[in-house]
Amino acid sequence: MSTGARRTRVAGMAGLAALSLVAAAGCSSDGGGGADGDVTIEFAQWWEPELPDGAFAEIIAGFEEENPGVNVDLVSAPYASTQEQLFAGSASGTMPDVMGLDAVWVNDFANQGAIADLSALMSEYGYDDSQLASQVQVDGATYMIPVVNFIYPLFTNDDLLAEAGVDAPPTTRQEFLDAAVAISELGGDTTGWALPLSLEQPNGVLNDVMPWVWSSGGSMLADGQPDLTNPEMTAAIEYVQQLWDAGAVAPGSFTMKEQDKVEEFTNGRVGMMISSLAHINLLQETNPDLNFSVSAIPTEEGFSGDSGLTYASWGIGISESTEHPEEAFALIEYLMETETNGDLSTIANGFPGNTEAVPDFVEDDPLMADAFEIYQNTTPVNEFSGLPAAEQLMRSFAEQLQATLNGDQDVTQMLDQTQAAWSDEF
């Protein structure tokens, strides 16, 4: 269906709603309709807090202008809070009409019947999905469309590196260890690396631990099943243990969440972190004096194969119980249009979900030019995407890793225990 046809359809629906309201002689409407006959859809996401002030509201205002009679109620909160809200809503049957999704949540939500089959909606509304860069599916049906894609490179505080006598961001594991130790030895409350391992929000396993495996060509799966005891996994976890034992990891790891890690880096208390490109805006706005760079994740010494790089998406989905599926899908269509998607990707410092969209930052922002070069020279990896009980897999991994770092077991025992726990989930 063309954009113009979709807008006409939605606008026409709003007009019919208004006529019906007049005919009802003042009867109130329900299901998100306002007193003036407008339809209001709720959109819960963590995107707005990570964008420049007012930028996302302006994009949504563009949708409302093109779709008179359809209003969007933005429910914005940090990632962790949005995650908690959506999981609570899934359990209680009170999901928002449209929601930002992480790919690792999709399998659970789909199996709970909480999110709509977008393949069916695309077919119903005649949507051409040929420009979509990717789709997240469960049992062959799409439940999430990635709107903006982000790589997770290494962020380095270049002033702290220089103060510690390190000339450039590390490119190998040994260089990273040396740099992390040197920064930690500067004294005060400064440490080399942040490793969030909160069990409440266990995505530190995906974002901060597994990159050491993927960057050197390793994998946690074999033929789609858990394979956590392989040599590459073992070497990566032993390396994390080495960083820990060297005193190069920021204190409070066992309760630290992603936003805590970013705050520590922003305030100059941590010299290096692995994080999303989406945080560039937040870093620059919160601390304009912060001098930082982005680079690829360091690899094992002598590694010459294809290096993997963690990526995540701002995905979008629709509640299975929404009373306004057509208006909700119209919002997805708008965000995935070439121009809109390019604009959103530009302000988010991410890569478009529309294959024909072109963000402006590659030529305008040196940091993003560096990130784009990293993106071109690495392979995006997220082996948790679409796995059953992905968050529980991360949590059980984090539990065992905490026990290992605490000295209660060795790495071999840790991986054996995690392998058993994962096998039960699969």
CATH 3.40.50.10490 fits 3-150+312-364, yes or no: no
Cα separation, 134 vs 115, in Å, equals 18
Q: Most confidently modeled of 154-158, 351-355, 360-364? A: 154-158
Please indicate whether residue 52 or residue 411 has the higher confidence score (pLDDT).
411
- Which has the minimum average pLDDT: 36-40, 163-167, 297-301? 36-40
Q: Which residues fall within 8 angstroms of residue 44, CB to CB, at 6 or more apart?
A: 75, 76, 77, 82, 85, 86, 96, 98, 99, 100
Cα separation, 352 vs 339, in Å, equals 10
> What's the rounded mean pLDDT across residues 295-314?
92
Q: What is the pLDDT of residues 276-294, one digit of tens each?
A: 887 887 898 889 999 999 9
Cα separation, 306 vs 117, in Å, equals 35
Specify the pLDDT at position 416. Answer: 97
Instruction: Write the DSSP assignment of 161-230 as a string of letters.
Output: HHHTT--S---BHHHHHHHHHHHHTT-TT-EEE-----SSSTTHIIIIITHHHHTTT--SEETTEE-TTS
Query: What phi and psi values does residue 80 have, to the nearest 5 degrees?
Result: -60, -40
Q: Are strands 141-151 and 308-318 parallel, antiparallel or unpaired?
A: antiparallel
Specify the pLDDT at position 278. Answer: 79
| Cα-to-chain-centroid distance, residue 61 | 24
Q: Which residues fall within 8 angstroms of residue 404, CB to CB, at 6 or more apart?
A: 237, 241, 410, 411, 413, 414
| Cα-to-chain-centroid distance, residue 2 | 29
Q: What is the pLDDT of residues 196-253, one digit of tens each?
A: 999 998 999 999 999 999 999 999 999 889 999 999 999 999 999 999 999 999 999 9
Copy the structure tokens of residue 82: 């949005």
Q: Is the dihedral of CA 248, 382, 132, 375 positive or negative?
A: positive
**Could you tell me the fold of the domain covering 154-295+388-425?**
D-Maltodextrin-Binding Protein; domain 2 (3.40.190)
CA torsion angle for 422, 386, 217, 401 (degrees, to 10)? Answer: -40
Cα separation, 62 vs 331, in Å, equals 11
Q: Is the pTM of the predicted complex or chain greater than 0.75?
A: no
184, 127, 136: which is closest to 160 by C-alpha?
184
> What's the rounded mean pLDDT across residues 159-185?
97
Please indicate whether residue 375 or residue 68 has the higher confidence score (pLDDT).
68
Specify the pLDDT at position 33. Answer: 52
Query: What phi and psi values does residue 50 have, to the nearest 5 degrees?
Result: -95, 0
Report the length, in residues, of the chain. 426
Q: Is 394 helix (H, G, I), strand (E, B) or coil?
A: helix
What residue ranges of the chain are covered by domains with CATH 3.40.190.10? 3-150+312-364, 154-295+388-425
88, 93, 83, 56: which is closest to 72 by C-alpha?
56
Residue 166 pLDDT > 50: yes
Q: In 254-340, which ranges are E strands?
A: 270-274, 292-295, 308-318
Residue 288 to residues 282, 285, 291, Cα–Cα distance (Å): 10, 6, 8
Cα separation, 47 vs 284, in Å, equals 16
138, 257, 206: which is closest to 383 by C-alpha?
206
Burial of 186 (0-12, 13-18, 19+ CB in 10 A): middle
Specify the pLDDT at position 31. Answer: 47
110, 6, 1: which is closest to 326 by C-alpha?
6
Copy the structure tokens of residue 231: 């040599």
> What's the rounded mean pLDDT across residues 181-206?
94
Specify the pLDDT at position 301. Answer: 94
